Structure 1
Amino acid sequence: MKLPKAHCPRCSRPIAARPVPGRISKGRLWRHDDTGVLRIPGEPLVSCPGSLEMIEMPLPARQLELDVSELPCADVVDDEMTAALF
């Protein structure tokens, strides 16, 4: 599943956002590294303070749109082919 991207309120990078169950318009950002912190081997990872923060989802409850003109059988008008799409 491809997740929508939202800008982190702390580092303003586009980060994938997952929806929160029961709240269509809200989501949480995936964990991501802070841009200004260097990774030191053997030291603990430091995430951006905006990781896992509650945000407004960019496009809540948007249905996937399918362009049927690009399908290989777009020029075929047949009830059997139409039923295969559903």
Structure 2
Amino acid sequence: MGIGGISIWQLVIVLGIIILLFGTKKLRNLGGDLGGAVKGFKKAMKEESATETTDEKKIEQDATFKAADETATKQQKPNDQQQS
């Protein structure tokens, strides 16, 4: 008994019929196209992940700079009042 109740011999027969119908050249091209599509998909997912990470870092940096600016502004206000 093979995968899901299908024996190895049944799979070999089905594969043989597919090769006879489409030919090895078409199957090779189909396999190459499928592989290229999977590779492109993985590359796009990796780039999207990198973009999201970059955006998150920018948001964190903006928040840090904003907090630093607020701290500097608070420290300057008492000094400005003393000089007046």
Q: TM-score band, normalised by the shorter chain?
A: under 0.3
TM-score when normalising by structure 2: 0.23
Q: Which has the higher strand share?
A: 1
**Per residue, is there more helix in 1 or in 2?**
2
Return the structure number with greater relative CO, CA threshold 8 A, min gap 6.
Answer: 1
Larger radius of gyration: 2
